[in-house]
Amino acid sequence: MSDARTAAYFSLVACEESAGYTNIQLNHTIKRDDFDPRERALYTVLVYGVTERKISLDYQIYKLSGKDISKFQTSVLYLIRMGLYQLIYMDSIPDHAAVSTVMELAKKQVNPGARGLINAILREAQRKLKKEDGSYRLIAPDRSRDLCGYLSITYSVPRYLCKAWIKAYGEEKTESILKAFDKPAPITLRVNLLKTDRAALLSELADAGITALPSKHTKDGIILPDGGAISDIDALKSGKCFVQDDASRLCVEALGPREGETVFDLCACPGGKSFAAAIAMKNCGSVRSFDLHESKLSLITDGAERLGISIISARAADSTQPIPELFEAADRVLCDVPCSGFGTLAKKPDLRNKPADSIRDLPSLQLKILENGSKYVKKGGILVYSTCTLMPTENELNVTAFLTLHPEFSLITASTLFPDNGTDGFFFAKMQRL
C-alpha cells in the first residue's frame, strides 16, 4: 500500500504519459490500494484537483521560474504541480506539510538538481503568492488588457474556450458559466416511475440518512447536494432510480416519447436517455438503442434489466452509416452526438485540458450523424439533436446547416441549458419531419 501523495503522483504521471482518463486511473488505484478513508479522500482530491487546475498551475510555474516548462520532465512538473496545488487550493494542509511531503517524494523520484528546482519554485510561491491572511493568490494576465487570458488562468480553462464563449454569450455570462463550473457538481438521480415515485424515494433516502432534495427542473429528479459514494445507495442497486442530470432529462422531455411508439436512440451508451424514454412510455412500445462500441452494450442491457424495462433492444452500429431497412421506421429519433463535452467541466476535469485541434472535426461528424438519423424518422415524426457542450459550432450552427440541407424538417424549438442555472451545460434542438 502506498500513501495518498505517492499514489497521486504515480497516477498523474501515468495519465500524462498514456493520455489516459483520471477517473479510470483513480478507480483502478483505489481498488488496488488499501486506503483508509482519509487517505482515499486526499488521493482523490490531488488527482482530480491537479488535473482540473493544470492550466492555472502551469502559468504559476512559468511566472515563478521564468522557464519554459515544456522542457521540464514530466516527473518534475507533476511534483511542482502537486506542491503548488496544496499551497494554493488546499487550506487544510499547512504550508510546511505541502512542501516537505513533496520534497520527500522528490528524493525518491528525481535527481538532486531537479529537487533544487522544485524546492526553489515552491519557496518562491510562498514568498510571492501568499497574502497577509495566509491564503494564496494566483498570478494571472491583466483583466483589462487580456480578458481571455485572465479567465483562462483564473478558472483553468483553455483560452480558445473563453474566446468562443465570450463571442457567443458575452463577458458577464461567460464568467458566470466558469464560476459555476468551479463549484462541486451535485449528483442527480432519476426516479424510475415504473417502480416508485419521487415522494416515496425521497422518504427512503431520508431513512437511509442520505441528504436528498427534489429537483426544481424536473418532476422526477432528485438532487444529492453532498454527492458521496452513490454505489452504496440501495435504491440504485434495486433499480428504483438511475443517475441522470436534469439537462439530459429535459432533452428526453423534448423528444416526447409516448406509449406504443418506436423510438431510436443513436450513440446511446451508457443508456440513460433510452431508460428515460422507456419509462416515459410506461414500458410500452419499442426503444432501439444503437452504439458504435459493442463492448458497451451491456451497460444498456444490464441497466434496463435492473430498472425493469423490457422494451429496450441494443445493437452495435456506426451512426454515421445508414441502415436502409430502418428508414422511416421510427416515430422519434434522438441523436445525442459525440461532442467536446464542455458543458460538463465540473464533473470531468480532463476536459479542461483539451487542445483546440482535438475538437476541430467534431461538427462535421455530428452533422453526418444527424443527417443519417433523420433518415429513420417517419413523416410527421420528431428528430432531436443534442450535445453536452456549449460550443455554437457544435450546436446552433450544426442545426442551421442541417435545416438548410433538409427543408423537409422544420425547427420546433432549440434550447441551451447553462450550469449557472443548476444543470449541466447542454443543447438540444427539436425538429419535425414534414
Catalytic residues: 388
Under DSSP, the state recorded for 432 is E
CA distance readout (Å), 401 to 364, 367, 429: 10, 8, 13
Positive or negative, the CA dihedral 211, 184, 236, 43 is negative
What distance in Å separates the CA atoms of residue 365 and residue 319, rounded to the nearest whole number? 10
Where would I find the beta strands (DSSP E) of 67-129?
none
Who's near 26: CB < 8 A, 6+ residues apart?
11, 43, 44, 47, 48
Look up residue 218 and give its amino acid.
Answer: T
Pairing of strands 409-417, 377-387: unpaired
Nearest to 312, CA basis, from 292, 280, 289: 289
Nearest to 340, CA basis, from 148, 153, 156, 157: 157
- Please name the residue ranges forming H helices in 215-296: 234-237, 246-255, 272-280
Who's near 3: CB < 8 A, 6+ residues apart?
39
Whether the bond between 338 and the residue before it is cis, its omega within 30 degrees of 0, is: no
Residue 194 near residue 307, CB atoms below 8 Å: yes
Q: Which residues are registered as beta bridge partners of 289?
A: 265, 314
For 312, phi then psi, to 5°, come to: -95, 130
Who's near 145: CB < 8 A, 6+ residues apart?
none
Secondary structure element (H or E) that encloses residue 4, with its range: helix 4-18
Look up residue 294 and give its amino acid.
Answer: E
